[in-house]
Structure 1
Amino acid sequence: MYEIWLALNIVYEIALGVWPALLVLLLVWIALLVAARGRLSAHALRPALALGALVAAALVLAVPSLTQSSLANMGYWVDWANLLAIALGLGALAAVFAWPLAALACPRCRSAA
């Protein structure tokens, strides 16, 4: 349990250091949602979820080497939990940002607006 709280504390401390960038990302996401209002549909959600899954799968393989580690060094369950949390979290972030962009580019979604 200590490892989970330690990981959450580290994420919190990192977020405190980059909160202006997180605020800008939030404002960009809100602007995308406003621009795509009325077009957000299942037609646009499908490619966004596919992109999110692709990003998550790529990050499962890329994050260990980006942190100067390898999958062979992942021997403890907390390592795997952190890797999956990072990959799934960033994959979800990619899907959340891709959904309004896909809605704006979707020809079938335009008729629904």
Structure 2
Amino acid sequence: MSLSREDFLNFTIAPQKADIPELGKAVYMRQVSYDELQKCRVSSDPDIEALVYSACDEHGNPLFKLEDIAALKKKSAVLVAALALAAVKANKLDGGAVDDAKKG
């Protein structure tokens, strides 16, 4: 059975739980949309913007808004970097997509 247009447009990936040792808690990260990815690519702070778009609760509801970027920049660099890394990994922006494709 081949993929239909409706199947593709209705497909969603559940948020992934990410343990953040620096926070002592776990957060969920969702995969960003193509539109959000393009916005990250032209952003002056792509990692923190990816974090804002990705961080969510277990149901996929966003934790942050773009307006939170200034406040996030004032938090611990180690903590923000750990969260941003979780967002990058959830979205396979670290080369993970290439590695997965090579595995077949």
TM above 0.5: no
Whichever structure has more helix as a proportion of its residues is 1
Whichever structure has more strand as a proportion of its residues is 2
What TM-score do the two structures reach when normalised by structure 1? 0.31
What TM-score do the two structures reach when normalised by structure 2? 0.33
